[in-house]
Amino acid sequence: MEITIENCNCIDSAKISIELDRLNIKYGPNGTGKSTIAKAIELTSKGDSGLSVLMPFKHRASVVESSPNPRVQGANSFKNVVVFNEAYVEQYVFKKEVIDNSFEIFIRNAEYEKKMAEIEDLISDIKDIFKENDSIDQVIKDLNDLSESFGKSQSGFSKAGRISKAIGKGNKVEHIPEKLAPYANFIRSEKNVNWIGWHIKGNDFLGISQECPYCTAPTDEKKERILAVSAEYDAKSIEHLNILQGIIDRLGNYFSKDFRVKIDAILKNKTELKKEEISYLTVIKQQIDTLREKLQDIKGISFFSLRDVGKLQERVKALIIDITYLEALDSSETRTIIDEVNGSLTTLLSKAGRLQGEVAKQKYSIESTIKKYKSEVNDFLKYAGYRYIVDFQSESESYIMKLKHLDFEDNIEDGKMHLSFGEKNAFAIVLFMYECLTKNPDLIVLDDPISSFDKSKKFAILEMLFRGKNSFRDKTVLMLTHDIEPVIDMIKIFGGRHFQPMPVASFLKYRTGTICEVEINKSDILSFAQICDENINACDSDIIKSIYLRRHYEVVDDKGVEYQLLSSLFHKEAIPRTRENDIERPMRQDEIDSASTSIQEKLTSFDYSKLIREVQEDSVMINTYHKAQNGYEKLQIFRIINNDNHENSVVRKYINESFHIENEYIMQLNPHKYDFVPDHIIAECDEMIICGFNF
């Protein structure tokens, strides 16, 4: 399919093709607009309205109705697009787990859900009781709140707990001091906490005037009583008492009658709690905790609570609640709940054998899945040269992926502090792959995913992404890159015998806001020696042919007299020069003749005396510059004209060393066909050509 992108950031117009169910590689230099292509397609999948953020700056200054709007055509079939880019990498902080929701990505698949549904069906009787009876959840919550009111202490009762703070010195709401009797209605009201707080804050203003800060009447007779409120009460203690009373009231019918009477009596104590009362309350706490824990365990029956149980039948029997040992809670209301819960446990006992079998199957399936993914990820880390491994750790109701270092036994809890930029990138892209396999998007976009890695790591990532059974193989993938190496590996070297289906590749040619594609086939990826031979035969200009021939000698590391003669030509030397024992000297005639004869074997029309006149004549060279068909050849002609000079060191370095672009690759694309020289460099050369030189 063909996608057209218009008026998005630096792109005025771009046409790219995407073949479905295979890898599509788009290769182009930095600044071509690759990230804009990724963003435009992603935003289109979410609705065209989002494209407005890509409005080119040149159209933002005066937005009128006639201003062209960002537009993408041909991508509407991609409803779900996911993009790997810097923003994706940055979301990984590697704290609790290597990747957020690793359980959902690696384990919770269709097979997992099917087995889990079978287990849930076997325990449905218990689940239904808790679903249909909301009061059980409230009882569990109130039992938990009451237990926590005792505070944290080995004895079961802490002076820092709510009960001690509420009634440790007596119930002062029930027993109001006589001198504060006029305030009884306020102290016992539902808003007593707010009133006490308000009253105490007013004390700060008593010293300002003789009038009462509340009613402005004289305070001579009332001041002692006003101050007594703050002496006897504090808002926090009353708040603790109110909460405690509310919990006891809600649990009232679940206590046995005798225990409720004694609890109420203790709550209404006038004096501080006695040791025997604390001991009595502690016994109640133990029974509360027993019932609460059992109800929580029964409610929480699931695969996760049973996965490590050796004998499931014994475990279920142990959950049955015996009310006779919970005297404080032995009431008809409590028995109703317990009888219903115990009945569901009895039903479950009849299915215990089947349940244990299904739990074992699910556990084995999960362990097999974990083993597979651990092996895949850890093999990648090993062969890519990273000294890390991943492992899965069981949680209460899930499994999470943890990161370890080969030199350290424990998990790494804050990987962001230890992982390098490259390591984080490598983890992110592999985990991105697994996340995509879970989400199954219509289009996967990789925005320059591997250009920051060295050769071995690049290929290890490509192997992981596109070769395995669990990979992007057969997925529609758009990879945008300024790195030629994946093109060489996946199109030229391995191609269809290694990566299936065969990837397709193209070069993104960017000129003055317009992007067009140039297809890259296996035959287009050549050694530079092959490229030189091809261009020497194809070009019309002997100057340009000589440029490629000189480059050929340089690539094969043959810097003999032939290379020296061509170098003298490009340096405009009327008398060619050579270097001997690091000393430069004029070439002898026999050396010139020998070099010329050798050069003529590849370039039959080579004539130094003729060509030297051409390179020394600026008008001839400027004409040759304008006729050059691509940026690479323009740069070489410009270099000769300008004699390796430019006022800007960055531009000068690019021009002078453009010979060495991609020099490290054995294979590359022919610069005559694939014009990779950036617009701004050619623009600089054009400007200087037009303006003329200071010769």
Q: Which of 502, 520, 538 represents a domain boundary (last residue)?
A: 520
Confidence grade of residue 663 (pLDDT, cut at 50, 70, 90): very low
Contacts of 520 (CB under 8 A, 6+ apart): 25, 27, 487, 491, 505, 506, 507, 669, 674
Average pLDDT over every residue of 294-306: 94
Q: What is the pLDDT of residues 535-551, one digit of tens each?
A: 888 888 899 999 889 98
3-state secondary structure of 300: coil
Higher pLDDT among residues 680 and 276, named by residue: 276
| Among 232, 258, 281, residue at a domain's last position | 232
Q: Are 206 and 213 in contact (CB under 8 A)?
A: yes
Per-residue confidence at 517, pLDDT binned at 50, 70, 90?
very high
* Residues 687 and 544 placed together within one structural domain of the fold: yes
Of 659, 658, 642, the closest CA to residue 571 belongs to 642
Same domain, 560 and 602: yes
Average pLDDT, integer, range 576-588: 90
End-to-end CA, the chain:
53
pLDDT score of 683: 79
Q: pLDDT of 236-263, one tens digit each?
A: 887 888 888 888 889 989 999 999 999 9
Residue 379 lies in a domain: no
Distances (CA, A) of 629 to 540, 564, 632: 11, 27, 9
The pLDDT value recorded for residue 15 is 94
Of 158-167, 476-485, 584-593, the range with the lowest mean pLDDT is: 158-167
Average pLDDT score, the chain: 85
Are 542 and 675 contained in the same domain? Answer: yes
CB 172 within 8 A of CB 233: yes
**Each residue of 419-476: pLDDT tens digit?**
788 888 888 888 899 989 988 999 999 998 888 787 778 888 888 899 878 899 999 9
- Does 208 fall in a domain? yes
Instruction: Provide the pLDDT for residue 493.
Output: 84
Cα separation, 669 vs 284, in Å, equals: 83
State the Cα angle at 635 between 630 and 640, rounded to 5°: 130
Residue 406 lies in a domain: no
Planar angle of CA 556, 651, 691, nearest 5 degrees: 115
Amino acid at 36: T
Give CA–CA dist 597/591, Å, rounded.
10
Do 533 and 637 belong to one domain?
yes
Residues 200 and 589: their CA atoms lie apart, in Å, by 112
pLDDT of 161 strictly over 80: yes
Per-residue pLDDT band for 612 (boundaries 50, 70, 90) equals very high
Q: Are residues 499 and 569 in the same domain?
A: no
Note the pLDDT of residue 664: 44
Distance between CA atoms of 426 and 460, rounded to whole angstroms? 10
What is the Cα–Cα distance from 265 to 281, expressed in whole angstroms? Answer: 12
Whole-Å CA distances, 486 to 22, 102, 183, 491: 15, 29, 84, 8
**Are residues 587 and 457 located together in one domain of the fold?**
no
Chain centre distance of CA 412: 18
Average pLDDT over residues 82-98: 78
Q: Same domain for 482 and 586?
A: no
Does residue 226 lie in a domain region?
A: yes
pLDDT score, position 66: 65
pLDDT-derived band at 660, boundaries 50, 70, 90: very low
Say whether pLDDT at 156 is over 70: yes
Gap between the Cα atoms of 161 and 272, Å rounded: 15
pLDDT of residue 364: 96
Helix (H) / strand (E) element for 23: namely strand 23-27
Locate all alpha helices (DSSP H) within 384-466, ordered by sequence.
421-439, 455-466
> Mean pLDDT, to the nearest integer, of 133-155?
91
Report the pLDDT averaged over residues 304-328: 93
Report the alpha-carbon distance of residue 606 to residue 615 in Å, rounded.
14
Spatial separation of the C-alpha atoms in residues 359 and 311, rounded to whole Å: 12
How would residue 659 be classed by pLDDT, with cut points 50, 70 and 90? Answer: very low
pLDDT tens across 29-68, in order?
888 899 999 999 999 998 867 888 998 888 876 555 567 8
pLDDT given for residue 360 in this prediction = 95
Pairing state of beta strands 71-73 and 81-84? unpaired
Question: Which range marks the domain in which residue 213 is found?
Answer: 173-232
Q: At which of 491, 520, 549 does a domain end?
A: 520
State the pLDDT at residue 206. Answer: 66
DSSP for 128-139 reads HHHHH-HHHHHH
Q: Are residues 39 and 65 in the same domain?
A: yes
Q: CB of 129 within 8 A of CB of 340?
A: yes
For residue 313, is pLDDT > 60? yes
Residues near 260 by beta carbon (within 8 Å), at least 6 away in sequence: 252
Q: What is the DSSP string of 308-361?
A: T-S-HHHHHHHHS--GGG-GGG-SHHHHHHHHHHHHHHHHHHTTHHHHHHHHHH
DSSP letters, 386-409, are --EEEEEEE-SS-EEEEEEETTEE
Examine the domain organization and report whether 29 and 63 are in the same domain.
yes
Of 684, 681, 668, nearest to 535 by C-alpha is 668
Find out whether the peptide bond into 576 is cis, omega within 30 degrees of 0: no
* Angstrom distances, CA of residue 114 to CA of 119, 131, 340, 352, 358: 9, 22, 29, 19, 11
pLDDT over 70 at 650, yes or no: no
Which range is least confidently modeled, 251-260, 322-331, 682-691? 682-691
The total number of structural domains that make up the chain: 3
d(Cα 488, Cα 526) in Å, to the nearest integer? 9
Q: For residues 74 and 62, what is the distance between their CA atoms, to the nearest angstrom?
A: 29
Judgement on whether residues 84 and 42 belong to the same structural domain of the protein = yes
pLDDT at site 414: 66
* Nearest residue to 43 via CA among 98, 97, 89, 3: 3
Asked if residue 112 belongs to a domain, the reply is no
- Within-domain flag for 327: no
Q: What is the pLDDT of residue 39?
A: 94
Q: Are 606 and 569 in contact (CB under 8 A)?
A: no
* pLDDT band with cut points at 50, 70 and 90 for residue 693: low
What pLDDT was estimated at residue 695? 40
Q: Given a cut of 70, is residue 415 above it in pLDDT?
A: no
Q: Is 117 a member of any domain?
A: no
Residue 360 inside a domain? The answer is no
**How far, in Å, CA of 496 to CA of 491, rounded?**
8
Q: At what angle do helices 352-383 and 110-122 cross, to 10 degrees?
A: 160
Instruction: Indicate whether 531 and 602 sit together in one domain.
Output: yes
Query: 477 and 538, same structural domain?
Result: no
